[in-house]
């Protein structure tokens, strides 16, 4: 009996289809006449009992971390690379993933496998960044079986293997093109097994496309130990690195970098996203947000203008769009603002995205400021989560943000401690504006 398997996604069927029912690609189902034979041979395999060991008798393995020397990167990893760890570094094309890797591994013995750039291109980038190449070995060969075999022979010469990118690697035993879901999963499984057995740290670089193809990094997250997301707008110099999964560390840390002509520069200043001389204008609010164990401060700008459309526009950048719509509904309910007559534009300065809920109160304050065309009080800071009923709630790490805000010179700090509800926010802001000329 014949069996048909899709080369792109691995879908199996007893009959042939011109279009794969699973991934929607055409002419990708190929016949596997030996499928029934191979499955029957597996059934004939003898039963193997599992070996069981009491968990308390298993020795605890102390993991010696490999530090990169870049504090912002080590912070997100949990202290450095762990031997045997497989890391998936994702981000949009051109965001700076290869630059980050070259700078962070300059003091570590590395085997760099590149399927997207030639050796000359990688060397030119390394020379521009001032990276010492004594610890780097390079290869353009992309067959995963060959990579594993060669790396095993050089076990005493390398500590980390970099695959740039995972979409270009293929296995000789799997049909289908590189970057297909079947190839991606098989290649990743082979690399993970190899890393665990030989105590190699492996970094898999993967692209995230706006189309969200099925063969993207999302399908590999459950195979790896750590998932790093490199974020930022190409039009902005700032880059953020976050971790959404980390078996050897926390997932609440964030690393901040600035892209310069000489590569990535570490940023430790919590006010890096704010102007040195902050002018007072309607629609501008400073918010304090906890990113991991550190407090950061961002500027939210909101523009409210009368609409000429039947359906007013809502444009959001740097915040969750649905969360902004929710907060607009809260404002309309509690303050009776006729927001359906206005276009509303919201932007977080610096080309970064705010993930926490501490910015809710600041967003509403900037909205009120723009709607009434009144600047907010001098040196004011907003911290607080806003509920559906309009109440101001305490947020994660609020005490630390408050303490840091006072240290940095914010004179008026608004939070759930001095504002109970959105309904009282306009009156509090107007009452505390000591300088009526602003």
- Host H or E run for residue 402: helix 398-407
Distance separating alpha carbons of residues 107 and 86, to the nearest angstrom: 19
Residue 98 labeled ligand binder:
yes
Residue pair 376/285 in contact by the 8 Å Cβ criterion: yes
Handedness of CA 42, 46, 50, 51 (dihedral sign): negative
| Tokens read off for 341 | 């007559």
Residue pair 97/125 in contact by the 8 Å Cβ criterion: no
Integer-rounded Cα radius of gyration of the chain: 27
- Strand 226-231 and strand 160-164: the pairing is unpaired
382 strand-pairing partners: 287, 414
Residue pair 123/134 in contact by the 8 Å Cβ criterion: no
Q: HSE of 95 in the Cβ direction (CA atoms, 13 Å)? A: 23
Residue pair 1/36 in contact by the 8 Å Cβ criterion: yes
**Residue 19 DSSP code:** B
Residue 261 labeled ligand binder:
no
- Strand 160-164 and strand 392-393: the pairing is unpaired
Residue 95 labeled ligand binder:
yes
Residue 44 labeled ligand binder:
no
String of DSSP letters for 30-75? EE-TTHHHHHHHHHHSPP-PPP---GGGSPPPPPPPB--S-HHHHH
- Give per-residue burial for 35-68: e unless 16+ CB within 10 Å, then b: beeeeeeeeeeeeeeeeeeeeeeeeeeebebbeb
**What is the rounded (10 degree) CA torsion for 332, 338, 342, 344?**
-10
Considering only CA atoms, which of 412, 416, 403, 414 is closest in space to residue 290? 403
Residues annotated within the binding site for ATP are 91-98
Residues annotated within the binding site are 91-98
């Amino acid at each position: 009996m014949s069996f048909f398997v899709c080369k792109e996604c691995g879908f199996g069927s007893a009959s042939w289809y011109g279009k794969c029912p699973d991934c929607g690609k055409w002419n990708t189902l190929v016949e596997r006449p030996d499928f029934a034979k191979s499955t029957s041979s597996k059934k004939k395999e003898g039963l193997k009992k599992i070996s069981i060991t009491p968990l308390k008798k298993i020795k605890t393995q102390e993991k010696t971390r490999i530090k990169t020397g870049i504090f912002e990167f080590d912070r997100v990893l949990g202290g450095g690379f762990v031997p045997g760890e497989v890391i998936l570094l994702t981000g949009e094309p051109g965001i700076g993933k290869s630059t980050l890797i070259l700078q962070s591994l300059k003091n570590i013995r590395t085997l760099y496998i590149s399927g997207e750039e030639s050796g000359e291109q990688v060397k030119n980038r390394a020379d521009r960044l001032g990276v010492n190449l004594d610890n780097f070995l390079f290869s353009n060969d992309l067959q995963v079986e060959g990579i594993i075999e060669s790396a095993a022979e050089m076990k005493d010469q390398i500590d980390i293997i970099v695959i740039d990118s995972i979409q270009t690697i293929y296995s000789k035993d799997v049909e289908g093109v590189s970057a297909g879901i079947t190839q991606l999963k098989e290649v990743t499984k082979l690399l993970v097994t190899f890393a665990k057995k030989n105590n190699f740290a492996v970094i898999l670089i993967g692209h995230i496309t706006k189309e969200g193809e099925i063969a993207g990094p999302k399908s590999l997250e459950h195979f790896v130990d750590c998932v790093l997301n490199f974020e930022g707008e190409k039009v902005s110099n700032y880059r953020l690195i976050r971790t959404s999964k980390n078996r050897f560390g926390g997932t609440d840390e964030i690393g901040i970098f600035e892209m310069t002509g000489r590569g990535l520069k570490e940023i430790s200043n919590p006010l890096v996203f704010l102007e040195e001389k902050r002018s007072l204008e309607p629609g501008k609010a400073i918010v304090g947000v906890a990113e991991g164990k550190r407090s950061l401060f961002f500027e939210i700008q909101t523009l409210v203008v009368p609409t000429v459309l039947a359906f007013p526009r809502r444009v959001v950048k740097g915040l969750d769009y649905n969360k902004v719509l929710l907060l607009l509904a809260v404002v309309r309910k509690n303050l009776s603002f006729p927001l359906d007559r206005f276009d509303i534009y919201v932007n977080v300065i610096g080309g970064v995205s705010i993930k926490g809920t501490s910015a809710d109160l600041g967003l509403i304050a900037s909205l009120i400021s723009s709607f009434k065309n009144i600047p907010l009080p001098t040196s004011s800071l907003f911290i607080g989560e806003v509920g559906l009923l309009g109440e101001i709630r305490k947020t994660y790490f609020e005490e630390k943000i408050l303490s840091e805000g006072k240290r940095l010179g914010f004179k008026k700090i608004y939070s759930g401690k001095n504002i109970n509800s959105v309904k009282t926010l306009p009156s509090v802001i107007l009452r505390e504006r000591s300088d009526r000329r602003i």
